[in-house]
Structure 1
Amino acid sequence: MALRARALYDFVSENPGEISVVENELLTLYSEEVVDGWLEGTNSRGESGLFPASYVEILNEKSLSVQGNGETYHSHTPARTDYSYQRSAHQGDTSTESTPTRSYPNYSYPSTSQGSDEDWDDDWDDCPATADQPSKGGHALPASSSAYSSSPRRGSAQQSRSSATVGRNLNRFSTFVKSGGEAFVLGEASGFVRDEDKIRVVMSQFGPEWQEDPHPFTCIIDDPTKQTKFKGMKSYMSYGLTPSHTQSQVNRRYKHFDWLYARLVERFPVISVPHLPEKQATGRFEEDFISKRRKGLIWWMNHMTTHPVLSRCDVFQHFLTCSSTDEKAWKQGKRKAERDCLVGANFFLTISPPAVPLDLQDVESKVDGFKAFAKKMDESLTQVNVTLAEFARKQVTGFRKEYQRVGQAFQLLGQAFELDQQEYSLRLNQAIAFTSQAYETIGDYFADQSRQDLEPVADLLAIYQGHLANFPDIIHVQKGALTKAKESQRLGEEKDGLAGINERCNIISCATLAEMQHFHRTRNRDFKGQMQHFLQQQIAFYQRITGKLEEALHMYDQA
């Protein structure tokens, strides 16, 4: 009798070797064996391939579990399995993808930027971001899922769909493969690294940390100006950037930030590149949106300039220093960045770790601790965001209206008193009228206050929610390296080969822990400063209210 299963949820395949399933659909299984969270079978349309084990219910009495990597995996949502492909070296060409095999990815990946040099001045950000596009810095996640959900991660939408069945030799760490981590650990990476390209990790009392930038700098972002081209047919916003180490202003558009972001994500697989403010299809020239985007870009720039690695990389310096009017120099730097060979597996060649290797068990413990911390932080940020948004709504609408109602009530009382024409009542009437106006003014204070204290906190939460969304992929890279090292040891790899794998695993571990340490240091700095600002603004706010009430009180001294 054939093994059967019923789909509990919809699953849309996005990689060759997978099949789509629909809720309540009956599936035929090849076996009950779960490999890294995946089952293999045939759907009701006759397509054969893989689908997540946790998305289906097996229609028999046996419990579904599988022993792997020293752990027992039950029918929880699996980590996404990934397959490597041989790609054409031509940018954007995906037509040569073949049936999935366990091959290592090329080290020079196709550029993810849109357009060519000729359309470099087109409005890339005119196009709306659609719901099915992945969010910046990672893969799209279901709305109900947190950043650390173990739901299957989506592959590239450009990958061709196929019902071809792959073999059982699957890699559980999809990000590990995509980032080139697996190829590096197995010694497949090779390339020339200049001394200025080396990224040094030093050992501090807190563990591995990125070596500090000996020449730190900041960057100011001015209010954007509206520019036009094609005789006014197209409009765009231009931001003036002034780095402190050059004091020369350059003008950049949002699409330039977007291009830079894509380069950085491709270049640094174990560094959390801060997310850019989201795109917007309509209302791009409205004052509120322009102000909000500028604030988001300021946060983004602050995190970039204070990161010891990101701030010094060539592509970021090109973005900050290349003259806005030197089109030739800009294109040369752009092409150089897009042809960078130190991406993927070759990126890890640039890491220079401390002399003493780390204890891999200690690394694993620290990474697991950070993962638990980040998950809890992500949940708490969401709660704080919801609470502050509700508080701001009450201030703008509820509190404002309540104070205005009080003011209107005093106004009615004052109008009644004015019917008394006695001279000695004049000053009392004036005091009551002033009290009415004071409460009206306090209502306006509440309406405007969220811009001063709540919105800056929300901006801070947004930048950190972006960072937290990046860390699952970073952790997957380190976990993949650690798993490879353990597998090699278990399989009795020859001494020289095992030493090389452990050494390369140590490099990835050092980089991962250094990035986590940088996250904690930056978090302490940002939340300390922002909470101080929030409380200072709250105190100033209530002092303004107190001052207005004291003014009203003094009016009665003369009544």
Structure 2
Amino acid sequence: MALKARVLYDFASENPGEITITESEVVTLFSEEELDGWLEGQNSRGDTGLFPASYVEVIRLDNPADSSNGLPSGPDSRSAGYDSSFQSRPAVSTPSHAASSPAVTRPAEGSDDDWDDDWDDNSTAAANELSGVRGGPSTYTVTTSLPGRRGNAQQQAKSSATVGRNLNRFSTFVKSGGEAFLLGEASAFVEGGDRICVIVGQHGPEWQENPYPFTCAIDDPTKQTKFKGMKSYMSYGLTPTHTNTQVNRRYKHFDWLYARLVERFPVISVPHLPEKQAAGRFEEDFISKRRRGLTWWLNHMTGHPVLARCDVFQHFLTCGTDEKAWKRGKRKAERDELVGANFFLTISTPAVPLDLHEVESKIEGFKSFTKKMDENIVIVNAAVNEFARKQMTGFKKEYQKVGQSFKLLGQAFELDQQVYSDGLNRAIAYTGEAYEVIGEFFAEQPSQDLEPISDLLDLYRGHLANYPDIVHVQKGALTKVKECPKQEGELRDRCNIISCATLAEIQHFHRTRVRDFRWQMQHHLHQQISFFQKITTKLQDALQRYDEEQ
């Protein structure tokens, strides 16, 4: 018998491959297997295609209640993606509208016993469910609700560290929990320390600065082994300045942290980590490049007013060798309820709301900027890498070829056996050697001035890849405000929160970009000056030999 589901909310198709479904309609499912939060089936009009999984509840005909009224009930009932084990749990978040659920799949908590296995070549994500609520004297409840909307305390919002391909124009808005928050379907306990403040700065909304700034250094990684040498991995020593205590972390720990942060902050750009590599992980060049990439990554994290202060990042930086303490912090982070729609509950905004038309204009301007920046980063990176390749191979080879030719000329002159030509012969031989050394200078130089630029460009390409989704969250909120004039006041208030957070993140991006590129270009030019001074010194030394050998 075909699998049926009852539609909970209206959904209008907007793209090829989607179908329109209406509330209370019974649809046929081709499979219960979700595709990035979507199901495939057929509506009552015979149209086939995709629709959001959490807009429907599967009808279990083997259940007496289902057969009598067509609706799921009892312990076997579930909406797509809903685990009935949550029935006895307190309601942490109640995003019953579809928008929140196609969203997202929560990365896996994983087994603590496997935490020390080598994860460099494996994904850290699996299935992890929310449980429990935070409370205590220092907490207060934040909820949002719209009159007349149905809620289902058992239908949990899921979230994801990895954003999938958009299936409609609001899919990122949905995945982030933006729609659920905007429609009043977010509820969670927010501790005072979890509050994130947006203030009005000279150039608009910005994150409140970290009152206790710090930095973090990475020591040269060391190769470690376990299981009597059967497994090897690289260990990085991290020393944050606010503790001055070194902790050792592996790449898989960075990978785990990255997944938690992406899940936790839907409108904050968490820079991408250096890429994984299955082969050659212990080669010197790869280790050096990864260390540089992780250094840039940590510099961005410690310099971000929000990311630097979040609990999971502080746990990552400060938890030492106490394995139990590490696992407690790990589990706490993986059960964090302030993700997706609930993240927006933590944001405090200025008293005066933003002008939405002005916000829309700024967002459009930022979209144009990031698109152009991304295009030109590709051009610069290609030029830099090609130039580095020429220096390390072509220039080195050409200088050495010239140097060898000068040395051959000197060897030919030696055949004249005239005493007064000995000085000239030695000077020419030295000139040949000088050119060979200069060739080595060219081969070594890219690691000093070109590779650091490429590392920075890689980091910012990761940022630029994040911003379309971040911008879509804000644009989705603006669109919903325009589409729902009857509830415009309530929607505007929540849209203002999303807009303030988005503009604050954009402002931080620009400030950081100016700082990073100013410093990097200064470093590049200083290195170039030093490089050519070194060449000049070598050539002057060779020139002086001709005066000394007369």
TM-score when normalising by structure 2:
0.77
**Is 1:38 matched up with 2:16?**
yes
In the superposition, relative to structure 1, how do residues 392 and 128 fare at CA in structure 2: closer, same or farther (>3 Å)?
A: farther
Secondary structure (helix, strand or coil) at the match of 1:188 reads: coil
In the superposition, relative to structure 1, how do residues 89 and 526 fare at CA in structure 2: closer, same or farther (>3 Å)?
A: farther
Contact 2:52 2:102 in 1 (8 A): no
**Is 1:501 matched up with 2:491?**
yes
Residues 94-143 of structure 1 show CA distances to partners (whole Å, capped at 9, x for unaligned) of: xxxxxxx96243699764146311111011113499xxxxxx97557xxx
Contact 1:107 1:341 in 2 (8 A): no
Q: Which residue of 2 aligns with 1:553?
A: 543
Q: CA deviation at 1:249?
A: 0.7
1:392-431 superposed matches below 5 A: 392-431=388-427
In the superposition, relative to structure 1, how do residues 107 and 337 fare at CA in structure 2: closer, same or farther (>3 Å)?
A: farther
Contact 2:54 2:97 in 1 (8 A): yes
* Structure 1 gap segments, 5+ residues each: 1-15, 17-33, 42-46, 50-79, 92-100, 130-135, 141-152, 156-170
Q: CA deviation at 1:205?
A: 1.5
Contact 2:197 2:208 in 1 (8 A): yes
In the superposition, relative to structure 1, how do residues 89 and 524 fare at CA in structure 2: closer, same or farther (>3 Å)?
A: farther
> Which amino acid is 1:338 matched to?
E
Supply the distance in 1 between the matched residues of 2:430 and 2:411 (Cα, whole angstroms). 12
**Is 1:119 matched up with 2:119?**
no
In the superposition, relative to structure 1, how do residues 290 and 82 fare at CA in structure 2: closer, same or farther (>3 Å)?
A: farther
> Which amino acid is 1:265 matched to?
V
**Pick from 424, 444, 455: which aligns with 2:451?**
455
Q: CA deviation at 1:426?
A: 1.1
**Pick from 366, 385, 393: which aligns with 1:389?**
385
**Pick from 328, 331, 336: which aligns with 1:340?**
336
In the superposition, relative to structure 1, how do residues 114 and 437 fare at CA in structure 2: closer, same or farther (>3 Å)?
A: farther
**Is 1:239 matched up with 2:236?**
yes
Residues 316-337 of structure 1 show CA distances to partners (whole Å, capped at 9, x for unaligned) of: 00000011x2010001000100
Contact 2:269 2:466 in 1 (8 A): yes
Supply the distance in 1 between the matched residues of 2:310 and 2:325 (Cα, whole angstroms). 17
Q: Which has the higher contact order (CA 8 A, sep 6+)?
A: 1
Supply the distance in 1 between the matched residues of 2:271 and 2:16 (Cα, whole angstroms). 32
> Which amino acid is 1:363 matched to?
V
Q: Which residue of 1 aligns with 2:519?
A: 529
**Is 1:103 matched up with 2:98?**
yes
Supply the distance in 2 between the matched residues of 1:113 and 1:431 (Cα, whole angstroms). 69
> Which amino acid is 1:289 matched to?
F
> Which amino acid is 2:15 matched to?
G
Secondary structure (helix, strand or coil) at the match of 1:192 reads: strand
Supply the distance in 1 between the matched residues of 2:260 and 2:532 (Cα, whole angstroms). 46
> Which amino acid is 1:205 matched to?
Q
Secondary structure (helix, strand or coil) at the match of 1:220 reads: strand
> Which amino acid is 1:444 matched to?
E
Q: Which residue of 2 aligns with 1:487?
A: 483
**Is 1:319 matched up with 2:316?**
yes
In the superposition, relative to structure 1, how do residues 82 and 419 fare at CA in structure 2: closer, same or farther (>3 Å)?
A: farther
Secondary structure (helix, strand or coil) at the match of 2:120 reads: helix
Supply the distance in 2 between the matched residues of 1:251 and 1:371 (Cα, whole angstroms). 39
Secondary structure (helix, strand or coil) at the match of 1:193 reads: strand
Q: Which residue of 2 aligns with 1:291?
A: 288
Q: How many residues align?
A: 444
Supply the distance in 2 between the matched residues of 1:178 and 1:327 (Cα, whole angstroms). 34
Q: CA deviation at 1:285?
A: 0.7
Q: CA deviation at 1:384?
A: 0.4
Q: Which residue of 2 aligns with 1:304?
A: 301
Supply the distance in 2 between the matched residues of 1:104 and 1:428 (Cα, whole angstroms). 83
Supply the distance in 2 between the matched residues of 1:210 and 1:296 (Cα, whole angstroms). 25
Residues 483-524 of structure 1 show CA distances to partners (whole Å, capped at 9, x for unaligned) of: 1111112xxx1xxx4321110000000000000000000000
**Pick from 186, 190, 194: which aligns with 2:187?**
190
Contact 1:137 1:273 in 2 (8 A): no
> Which amino acid is 2:82 matched to?
S
Question: Matched residues, percent identical?
Answer: 69
Secondary structure (helix, strand or coil) at the match of 1:430 reads: helix
> Which amino acid is 1:254 matched to?
Y
Contact 1:241 1:251 in 2 (8 A): yes
Contact 2:178 2:477 in 1 (8 A): yes
Secondary structure (helix, strand or coil) at the match of 1:451 reads: helix
TM-score when normalising by structure 1:
0.76
1:129-144 superposed matches below 5 A: 139=163
Supply the distance in 1 between the matched residues of 2:113 and 2:81 (Cα, whole angstroms). 25
Residues 249-308 of structure 1 show CA distances to partners (whole Å, capped at 9, x for unaligned) of: 111110000000000000000000011000000111111111111100000000000000
RMSD of Structure 2 on Structure 1 (CA):
2.6
Supply the distance in 2 between the matched residues of 1:485 and 1:172 (Cα, whole angstroms). 15
In the superposition, relative to structure 1, how do residues 89 and 138 fare at CA in structure 2: closer, same or farther (>3 Å)?
A: same
